[in-house]
Chain A
Amino acid sequence: MTATARRANGTGALLNVEHLTKHYPIRKGVFSRVSGQVHAVDDVSFWVEEGETLGLVGESGCGKSTTGKAVLRLTDVTSGAISWRGQRIDALPAREMRAHRRELQAVFQDPYSSLNPRMRAEDIVAEPIRNFEDRSPAEIRERVASLFERVGLRADQMVKYPYEFSGGQRQRLGIARALAPNPRLIVCDEPVSALDVSVQAQVINLLMDLQDELGLSYLFIAHDLAVVEHISHRVAVMYLGKIVEITDKRTLFANPQHPYTEALLSAVPLPDPKAARKRIILAGDVPSPVNPPAGCRFHTRCPVAQERCRIEAPAMRLTAPGHLVACHLRDGEPVEAP
């Protein structure tokens, strides 16, 4: 990894997220009284460099998709700062936010429901171009046709409707739509988890080729560690609304520091059936995000938890250059914002 990834905060990065928090109120009764809060994302900080892929992994319900939606401003944040090229975008009015959407695009998880069933493929891909550019219909068609070819679809498929495509082809359509306005960063929210394994590899390779060619950055949200290891430069691990560890891919997979990351990695099946590995089996379930545990959120399941973990929430510590871990048991210099 380059030296930029080894710094301790994201000032000046393409995308910089600081202390992002998103709580959903739970309403009850006739008068919709707020009776509690779902702590979907709690004090999450990370940054994405130009041309880099940051993988965001975690179990379902850990807040990784909410983080992606917050970055795209598809949901309002409770607190925290999201900066795009150094400018705060977390509180921009919808009208001003639209100007930034051109550079900040998204690929969604479900290739079936993320494409309007009543629009032709070419209109789906042309939509962002029409939103941002004043071009003639012929120019738009030409651009759409070249995008189709770029993502591995044929130009004669442009007149088809989404139901006429397979799952993998639909996801290629979704990628073509995201590429249409020439973005700098694409938030990929589990883009391959709904696809067959063989198709997954094609789509992942397409995304990596596009990155090489266009210098794109990705915020790649996934729960599949093998996929994340393949595509990411750096990886952030989330547990119950918090990032517990963030470092470059090689270090994370070779030398995980947080007990949760260790447990997660030990659950990845090995290709060799005879190879023995000590699996760390976590007891119990993920606690409810309505009442997250005090102290370290992982202490209820952590095999090495101590008294301190139950009381005090661990700060992010810089254990090695570019390696941030939120655990009391690891030595390192605490950092204000990672």
Chain B
Amino acid sequence: MTAVTTLPAPVSTSPTLRQFKEAFRRHPTAIVGGIVLLLMILLALLAPWLGTVDPQAVTPIKRLKQPSAEFWFGTDMLGRDVYSRVVYGARVSLSIGIAVAFFSILVGLSIGLVTGYLRWLDAVVMRVMDGLMSIPPVLLAISLMALTRASIENVIIAITLAEVPRVVRLVRSLVLTLREQPYVEAAVAAGTSLPRILVRHILPNTTAPLLVQGTYICASAMITEAILSFIGAGTPPNIPSWGNIMAEARSLFQIAGYLIFFPGVCLSLTVLAVNLLGDGMRDALDPRLARRM
């Protein structure tokens, strides 16, 4: 057993990382999306240092100013600086998008893994999910918001609940395919227990499609947040979010169109960037996924 002393350290790159590098080389749109998204995240993180003032500071004397050197994006009807509000609004929109993506994947993954394996539970849970899916996500989120107080946490919970059924369906379908894979049978034959099979064999093979689904959820959550805020059922009005800024500017649309223009452009750009990134990752990780999602 002399060979044992010369065993190499585990250095081989994982298939996921290798696929990623290869993919981004071949999908320039994904890179563009990634860069735009990165800029937006930097914008949100560095908001206080980007020449902004307090986004909630009211100066009625300077209300409804056109965009100028002093107020880059102009001021609204209460004289608040729209540039500062849009930059701070990126924080709300992005954190809601990312939080919803994270929590709906977490919840959907746990439910999907279990229902994919326990058939008796599967029938019950999937009927509940079908019921949830039959209600349009925005409507479901509105009704959930109507039951609670307006706050960022409640917005996240409401949108997450509306997104979970889609994740459960995806995870369940993946588990149903994966559990029939010969290597899962091999693991059963090798005496591996069910929790370990789920963690070691099923879970790692769901990461790629879930990552892609996560970006779509992130994009759709940001839009849903904007819709909720626009109709006044979302983020509390004192917190600037892109949806809130647009909602307040709605009545002044014809005299101060720039109020709607800047948050609208930011929202569209961010959602587009997230979707481009998601499409690139989907094509990169597994071309066959294109048909499933």
Binding site for B on A (CB under 8 A): 69, 72, 74, 94, 98, 101-102, 104-106, 108-110, 113-120, 127-128, 131-132, 141-142, 145-146, 149, 155-156, 158-161, 163-164, 174, 177, 180-181
Contact B204 A118 (CB under 8 A): yes
Contacting residue for B185 out of A98, A108, A127, A163, CB 8 A: A108
Contacting residue for A159 out of B12, B192, B204, CB 8 A: B12
Contact A155 B6 (CB under 8 A): yes
CB distance from B126 to the nearest CB of A (A): 14
Docked CA distance A98–B197 (Å): 13
Binding site for A on B (CB under 8 A): 1, 3-4, 6-12, 14-16, 181-183, 185-194, 196, 200-201, 204-205
Docked CA distance A110–B186 (Å): 11
Docked CA distance A149–B191 (Å): 23
B contact patch SS: helix
Contact B14 A106 (CB under 8 A): no
Contacting residue for B205 out of A118, A156, A160, CB 8 A: A118
Docked CA distance A127–B188 (Å): 11
Contact B12 A132 (CB under 8 A): no
CB distance from B53 to the nearest CB of A (A): 50
Q: Given A128-B191, A145-B4, A155-B3, do A114 and B186 touch, yes or no (CB 8 Å)? A: yes
A-B contact pairs, 19 of them (CB 8 A): A101-B189, A106-B186, A110-B182, A113-B182, A113-B183, A116-B200, A117-B15, A117-B205, A119-B200, A119-B204, A120-B10, A127-B200, A141-B7, A145-B7, A146-B1, A158-B7, A159-B8, A160-B12, A161-B14
Contact A105 B190 (CB under 8 A): yes
Contact B12 A145 (CB under 8 A): no
CB distance from B128 to the nearest CB of A (A): 19
Residues of B within 8 A of A132 (CB): 191
Contact B14 A142 (CB under 8 A): no
Contact A177 B12 (CB under 8 A): no
Docked CA distance A128–B192 (Å): 7
CB distance from B199 to the nearest CB of A (A): 12
Q: Besides the contacts A146-B4, A155-B4, what 12 more A-B pairs have beta carbons closer than 8 Å?
A: A74-B188, A98-B191, A106-B186, A110-B182, A115-B186, A116-B204, A118-B15, A128-B190, A142-B1, A156-B7, A158-B8, A181-B190
CB distance from B269 to the nearest CB of A (A): 35
Q: Given A145-B7, A146-B1, A156-B8, do A105 and B189 touch, yes or no (CB 8 Å)? A: yes
Contact B190 A177 (CB under 8 A): yes
Residue of B nearest to A111 (CB): B182
Contacting residue for B190 out of A110, A113, A127, A145, CB 8 A: A127
Residue of A nearest to B184 (CB): A116
Residue of A nearest to B189 (CB): A106
Residues of A within 8 A of B15 (CB): 117-118, 161, 163
Contact B193 A98 (CB under 8 A): yes
Residues of B within 8 A of A145 (CB): 1, 3-4, 7
Docked CA distance A177–B196 (Å): 17
CB distance from A140 to the nearest CB of B (A): 11
Residues of A within 8 A of B3 (CB): 145, 149, 155
